[in-house]
Amino acid sequence: MDADDTRAVLNTSIQYIKGVGPRRAESFASRGIRTVADALLFLPRTYEDRRRVATIATLEIGQRVSFRARVEDFAVRRIGRSPRRQMFELLLGDDTGRITCRWFHFNQASFANRFRRGEWVRVAGKVSNYRGRRVLIHPDVEKVLTSADDAGEDFAAVVPVYPEIEGIYPKVVRRVMRRVVGNYSAHYPERLPAQMRQRLRLPGVDESLRLVHFPPRQADLAAYQQWRTPQQRRLVFEEFLLLQLGLALRRRRWKSNPAEVRAAPGELHRLAREMFGFELTGAQKRVLAEIAGDMAAAQPMNRLLQGDVGSGKTAVALLAALLARQAGAQTALMAPTEILAEQHFAKLGRVASRRLAGQPGLRLELLTSSVKGARREQVLAAVAAGQVDLLVGTHALLQQRVQFARLGLCIIDEQHRFGVMQRARLRQKGKQPHVLVMTATPIPRTMAMTLYGDLDVSVLDELPPGRVPIRTVVLRGNQASQAYRQVRREVEDGGQAYVVYPLVQESEKIDLRDASSMFERLRQGAFSGLSLGLLHGRMDADEKEQVMKRFARGQLQILVATTVIEVGIDVPRATVMVVEHAERFGLSQLHQLRGRVGRGRRPGSCFLVAHNLASEDARRRLQVMARTSDGFEIAEADLAIRGPGEFLGTRQSGLPVFAFGDLVRDADLLQLARDEARTLVEADPELKRPQHAALLEGLRQRWAGALALAEVG
Ligand code: ADP
Ligand code: MG
């Protein structure tokens, strides 16, 4: 059979499988299963062991069980008083006891003829509790010949449990799947090249589909349930490989365009020492070498810089801009908020303007929506004339009127705050500029590989010396006054403090402390006599700006705020933070918040006040926070607690959704898939070799849409 025939066979409508028909086909369709191919990839949710045969006496409420019994009696009964609502009841027995089975949906005619008193059946199902008695609701029941007969394919085996399909009994779904797998798995295309399969010892796709759907009798149940069998892992690997191939191809495409500027690394370390007055950390030096290497190459850089809060990304960014300048090109640095852009501008301005030995300082300008009128015209003109080396700004940089003389490097800070299009638009202001995206939201390795598989990744995994670790204390709601006392002590000793709330205003629906009303209460109560400011997202940009500036200048001692302070704000004198209702915040959010304190020489402390610890996940999150301040460790824990789907919020993260793979469980396979994909694309850049045709086809089918989403431009 050639490829077209195979496709036609796999495209057979599920409706034509024996036992389906138009009505059930609709139910299958509601699960996205329209064709035989869809059905083959509809994998079991878990597996049930029906090999152990229980006696009725040992059945316990809540268990999934499998046993043999004799039919003692059966009848159609009314439910309650209603004459119309009926159920079918079957009484079963063995030498040890009796149990009742019930069906609330049943076909009168077929059920009445289905059973005979005294005959033997096999039963599988879950034992429910009906007023303290054990009953089986809608169990699977099959006739057998004798008390020892094991016949029946759904019994004495490890049986697949499929995701529920509304309107179709699990038993029927299983029967349909058995037919589909039996008749069609052999037609499913083998996409992995034979040589790769051999080398990695991966089973074929036909065998994999068969055994993943219907485990053999001697199956290792635990391995199946944990998705560890070679057949299950092969399917996951294939899924990962296709995505990684897509990313590798895109990476190659990017690299095949010549870069506009090539920079020579020069003496960056010495320059850094002169500019900043400190020695770069080992991690900064390593990352800088990676960036300089990229910028010296013929192809444009496309690199992600991950670094925890305070790890010194800004210094690295500035040195990269210096490299671009040495090559005669301009740099654009885009930050997500005005406060951040101004902060960058101020910080960079202090060092950048210094004349360095033998060369002029870096010429810096700021462009945000607050830069208006004649001043704005001046900045725009200077940028267009090439008189500005580094333009720092917000989304304002993306406006049509912003024209660079020669843009050689785009740096995007807190890149996850920007959409794909915005990143692309900044890039388009130059001709193949280098791109460096930075994030302080640590992303677990597996996540980075799926999201940014086409980017090179640098990690700043070392904090500048002299940082004292932040002390983190978890308190119950009624202990909050401890935290307030500490705040007062710190503030009276010359420090500053943040008090963070989850909401701006009181909510009628939930009983939560909120920033606005607590601001008043604290000002008159716990913090009377101190100077307090209020900051939240409903204030307009100017107001926020004013408050933030006053806090940064030390005119406010305590900032009562919502999470608007989360990103990047740097006030070195802030030493204490109190987070109220800490149980309501996500791990990465708590980590970002905590990063706002302890940025100076004085040791910082962070009080996480929990008012409601009913949720197990919330307790685990706070334990993690108390245990570690390592952003990557926290990110991994976050991923494990929340699962990949919710980790960054699937929609905004553009994280592709896997059908089989699990970023936590299958991390090793993802790494393997990525290595294989890169090697493969190096050897066959367009996937033109015949043995790769099936991979290319699979890639098109599976990821064509999602890849655009994950694009970092
Ligand atoms: P990030 O942007 O990664 O959160 P920053 O670049 O703002 O971190 O750096 C945090 C602070 O550490 C800044 O005040 C910066 O001047 C300082 N810093 C950065 N690198 C070093 C270093 N190698 N040695 C000492 N201090 C440093
Ligand atoms: Mg920063």
pLDDT in tens, 492-540: 999 999 999 988 776 656 666 788 889 999 999 999 999 999 998 788 8
Report the Cα 293 to chain-centroid distance in Å: 30
- Which atom number of ligand 1 is nearest to the Cα of residue 313? 3
Report the Cα 132 to chain-centroid distance in Å: 43
Residue 357's pLDDT is what?
57
**Secondary structure class of 152 (helix, strand, coil):** coil
Residue 214's pLDDT is what?
95
Which of 311, 460, 593, 596 should be mutated for ligand 1, with most atoms under 8 A from CB? Answer: 311
Dump pLDDT digits (tens) for 551-591: 988 999 999 998 877 555 678 889 999 999 999 888 888 98
Residue 713's pLDDT is what?
31
Task: Using a pLDDT cut of 70, give the percent of the chain over it.
Answer: 90
Domain with CATH 2.40.50.140 in the chain: 52-156
Ligand minimally distant from the alpha carbon of residue 413: 2
DSSP per residue over 570-616, as a string?
--TTEEEEEEETGGGS-HHHHHHHHTTSS-SSS--EEEEEES----H
Residue 310 Cα to ligand 2 midpoint, Å, equals 7
Above 50 in pLDDT, residue 456? Answer: yes
Q: Predicted confidence band at 621 (pLDDT cuts at 50, 70, 90)?
A: very high
Q: Which residues contact 408 (CB under 8 A, 6 or more apart)?
A: 260, 261, 263, 324, 327, 328, 329, 330, 331, 430, 433, 434
Higher pLDDT, 233 or 140: 233
Contact 503, 514 (CB under 8 A): yes
- Which atom number of ligand 1 is nearest to the Cα of residue 278? 24
Above 80 in pLDDT, residue 107? Answer: no
Higher pLDDT, 291 or 614: 291
Instruction: Count each helix (H run) and each strand (E run) in the chain, helices first.
Output: 26, 21
CB of 570 shorter than 6 A to ligand 1:
yes
CB of 635 shorter than 6 A to ligand 1:
no
Give the torsion sign (CA, 531, 536, 538, 542): positive
Dump pLDDT digits (tens) for 380-422: 999 999 999 999 999 999 999 999 999 999 999 876 667 667 7
For 112, list phi and psi in degrees, rounded to 5. -65, -35
Mean of all residue pLDDT scores within the chain: 85
Residue 566 Cα to ligand 2 midpoint, Å, equals 11
Report the Cα 487 to chain-centroid distance in Å: 35
Distance CA 580, CA 500 (A): 6
Distance CA 17, CA 19 (A): 6
Residue 84's pLDDT is what?
78
Min mean pLDDT across 23-37, 354-368, 514-528, 656-670 is at: 354-368
Q: Which two tokens stand for residue 76?
A: 């159609």
Above 50 in pLDDT, residue 461? Answer: yes
Report the Cα 511 to chain-centroid distance in Å: 30
Distance CA 365, CA 358 (A): 22
Distance CA 94, CA 54 (A): 11
Distance CA 27, CA 34 (A): 10
Q: Predicted confidence band at 644 (pLDDT cuts at 50, 70, 90)?
A: low
**Secondary structure class of 36 (helix, strand, coil):** helix
Residue 405's pLDDT is what?
96
In CATH, the number for domain 279-460 is 3.40.50.300
- Which atom number of ligand 1 is nearest to the Cα of residue 599? 11
Min mean pLDDT across 325-334, 438-447, 622-631, 667-676 is at: 438-447
Contact 138, 172 (CB under 8 A): no
**Secondary structure class of 385 (helix, strand, coil):** coil
Report the Cα 163 to chain-centroid distance in Å: 23
Residue 651's pLDDT is what?
40
Higher pLDDT, 112 or 273: 273
Which of 158, 157, 183 is closest to 37 using CA atoms? Answer: 183
Which residue, chain included where needed, has tokens 């920033």? 515
Residue 309's pLDDT is what?
77
Give the torsion sign (CA, 13, 16, 18, 24): positive
Terminal Cα distance for the chain, rounded: 42
Above 80 in pLDDT, residue 446? Answer: no
CB of 306 shorter than 6 A to ligand 1:
no
Above 90 in pLDDT, residue 149? Answer: no
Min mean pLDDT across 118-122, 508-512, 528-532, 598-602 is at: 508-512
Higher pLDDT, 676 or 112: 676
Domain with CATH 3.40.50.300 in the chain: 279-460, 471-628
CB of 514 shorter than 6 A to ligand 1:
no
Ligand minimally distant from the alpha carbon of residue 308: 1
Q: Where are the beta strands (DSSP E) in 359-503?
A: 364-367, 390-393, 407-412, 434-439, 456-460, 471-476, 496-500
Distance CA 555, CA 135 (A): 70
Residue 241's pLDDT is what?
94
Residues in the chain: 713
Dump pLDDT digits (tens) for 188-235: 999 999 999 999 999 999 999 999 999 998 999 999 999 999 999 999
Q: Predicted confidence band at 653 (pLDDT cuts at 50, 70, 90)?
A: very low
How big, in percent rounded to 5, are the helix, strand and coil portions of the chain? 45, 20, 40
Q: Predicted confidence band at 650 (pLDDT cuts at 50, 70, 90)?
A: very low
Residues, Cβ < 5 Å to ion ligand 2: 568
Task: Using a pLDDT cut of 90, give the percent of the chain over it.
Answer: 45
Amino acid making up residue 238 = E
Residue 171's pLDDT is what?
81
Distance CA 383, CA 377 (A): 10
Of all protein residues, the one whose alpha carbon is nearest to atom 19 of ligand 1 is 312
Which of 40, 16, 33, 44 is closest to 170 using CA atoms? Answer: 44
Overall average pLDDT of the 244-259 stretch = 80
Amino acid making up residue 60 = E
Min mean pLDDT across 488-492, 632-636, 654-658, 708-712 is at: 708-712
Which of 179, 189, 241, 253 is closest to 213 using CA atoms? Answer: 179
Higher pLDDT, 154 or 438: 438
CB of 281 shorter than 6 A to ligand 1:
yes
Residue 141's pLDDT is what?
85
Higher pLDDT, 590 or 155: 590
Distance CA 221, CA 63 (A): 16
CATH entry, 471-628, from 3.40.50.300, 3.30.930.10, 3.40.50.970, 3.40.190.10: 3.40.50.300
- Which atom number of ligand 1 is nearest to the Cα of residue 316? 6
CATH entry, 52-156, from 1.20.120.1750, 3.40.630.30, 2.40.50.140, 1.10.287.980: 2.40.50.140
Residue 569 Cα to ligand 2 midpoint, Å, equals 8
Residue 137, number of CB atoms within 10 A of its CB: 15
DSSP per residue over 425-458, as a string?
HHHTTSSS-EEEEEESS---HHHHHHHSTTSEEE
Which of 269, 278, 438, 632 should be mutated for ligand 1, with most atoms under 8 A from CB? Answer: 278
Q: Predicted confidence band at 655 (pLDDT cuts at 50, 70, 90)?
A: low
